[in-house]
Amino acid sequence: MISSDTIFGISSGAGVSAVCVLRVSGPECPGIIERVFEKSLAPRQASLRRFLDPVSRDCLDQVIAIWFPGPRSFTGEDCLEIHIHGSMAVRVAVLAALGRFENCRLAEPGEFTLRAFENGKMDLGAVEGLADLLDARTERQRSRAMDLLSGGVSVLASGWRRDVLALMAEVAASIDFSDEEGTDTLDFSDIARRCNAIASEMTAVLTASSNSEVVRAGFDVVICGRVNAGKSSLLNSLAKREVAIVSDVPGTTRDANTIELSLDGFLVRVWDVAGLRESDDVVESIGIERGISAGLGADLVLWLWETGGDRWIDERLRSVEDKIVLVETKIDTAGCDRLRQGGDLGISCHTGAGIAELVLHLQKLASEQGGGSGDAVTASERQRQAIQRACGALQRVSDSLEGSGPEIMAEELDIAALNIGRISGEIGVEDVLGDIFSRFCIGK
């Protein structure tokens, strides 16, 4: 990416719409305003203007334009926001007109946000929060993303880094001026106390945010069982529409079908996989293996067994037995529309009995793994890893303090400071920038 270029892109959604929002950022903005509008724009005020082709001077559209002089803008650069009509013809014409300006080009994915980061308008945690906010599909995902965007962990990290740098200064002084008379010797007990205090705060944050990744990534549920146990019928009942083919013919389901549910704000993905049995059919066998693999990687497995049969569980899933919930199906055929013996859930997709109870059970389990409904510190997985590494370095300083020289202590404190800086993106973020910003669309 060339930061000296002026970039432009569509910031609203694709497809025909009443209004389409374009964003322009970079040093060419004043020149663009002068050429495409008949009048100048007052800063940060919406103005109705005709958008003129810079070459032919044809009027391409009547637009609303807002001028944001840097550094008081989203990117920190001169920015221009243009609200055009949302037809494809208008979009193409306006984008082509902007592309005629020298050093002006279409933005790459995430480039507007990258410039905001580079110009100090956002830290890396806020960037991740914005990416998650754009992807949010449930209320809890939105709330979690807003927590990241507000930078709560970054504020804590700033304090941790300040305290660690103070420790580093004391240790460095003891090394650099060890031969000077009157130089204070290191107080090992005080160093240990302060390292433990910072590490304890970090551990508390890790504990509080330990389940927040379930909210972001979603809760995966795989429906397993023998053939004709009612797996596809259950998926259709949960979706309240015909997602999967239901047939009395064994082995109808070959490949996985999936639906997404929002349960109390949690994103729950439910997968219907091939029924488990011995099969000589090559395609069905592949589906069965994929089903086993999905079950092993899921957050929860619903093992379906038909009324009148046994509760046999495939041996290949024994390693995740603690994640398996037994569900007895077709209970209407046994004349019983209630929870079954032994704590199993009982359902009938024909009558709808037990489906509501099953959904409530899924909601309860997703909530438990997602941290419940209490207020928790939100940290991204990348931030959590950085906190863990910093915490480990501080604990190593404290645990081996008396037997370590100040040089070793300085090295561990440097590791702690480096990783704390990575939490908000102050230092050492080059290796993660590409991955994070690639998640954005062109106009963001």
Q: How far apart are CA 25 and CA 394, in angstroms?
A: 42
Q: CA-based Rg of the chain, rounded to a whole angstrom?
A: 29
- Give pLDDT, residue 2: 47
Q: How far apart are CA 75 and CA 443, in angstroms?
A: 12
Say which residue the tokens 């004349």 belong to.
335
CB crowding 252-281: b at 16 or more within 10 Å, else e? bbbebbbbebebbbbbbbbbbbbbbeebee
Q: Which CATH superfamily is domain 6-122 in?
A: Probable tRNA modification gtpase trme; domain 1 (3.30.1360.120)
Amino acid residing at 201: E
Domain with CATH 3.30.1360.120 in the chain: 6-122
The structure tokens listed for 120 are 């100090």
Q: How far apart are CA 211 and CA 386, in angstroms?
A: 16
Q: How far apart are CA 29 and CA 298, in angstroms?
A: 50
The answer to whether 228 and 253 have CB atoms below 8 angstroms apart is no
| Digit-coded pLDDT (tens) for 22-68 | 999 999 999 999 999 988 999 999 999 999 999 999 999 999 999 99
Return the CATH fold of 126-209+378-425: Four Helix Bundle (Hemerythrin (Met), subunit A) (1.20.120)
Cβ neighbours for 298, distance < 8 A, ≥ 6 positions apart: 220, 221, 222, 271, 320, 323
Cβ neighbours for 12, distance < 8 A, ≥ 6 positions apart: 19, 20, 21, 86, 443
Q: How far apart are CA 426 and CA 406, in angstroms?
A: 26
Confidence band, pLDDT 50/70/90 cuts, at residue 432 = very low
| Digit-coded pLDDT (tens) for 167-216 | 888 887 777 655 555 445 667 788 888 999 999 999 988 877 766 666 77
Q: Which CATH superfamily is domain 216-369 in?
A: P-loop containing nucleotide triphosphate hydrolases (3.40.50.300)
CB crowding 112-137: b at 16 or more within 10 Å, else e? bbbbbbebebbbbbbbbbbbbbeebe
Q: What is the pTM of this model?
A: 0.63
Q: Kindly report the number of other CB atoms within 10 A of residue 106's CB atom.
A: 14
Ramachandran region, residue 136 (left: φ > 0; alpha: ψ -120 to 50; beta: rest)? beta
Amino acid residing at 228: N
Domain with CATH 1.20.120.430 in the chain: 126-209+378-425
Question: Stretch 295-318: mean pLDDT, rounded?
Answer: 84
Terminal C-alpha separation, the chain: 14
| Digit-coded pLDDT (tens) for 220-252 | 999 988 888 888 888 888 888 876 555 555 555
Domain with CATH 3.40.50.300 in the chain: 216-369
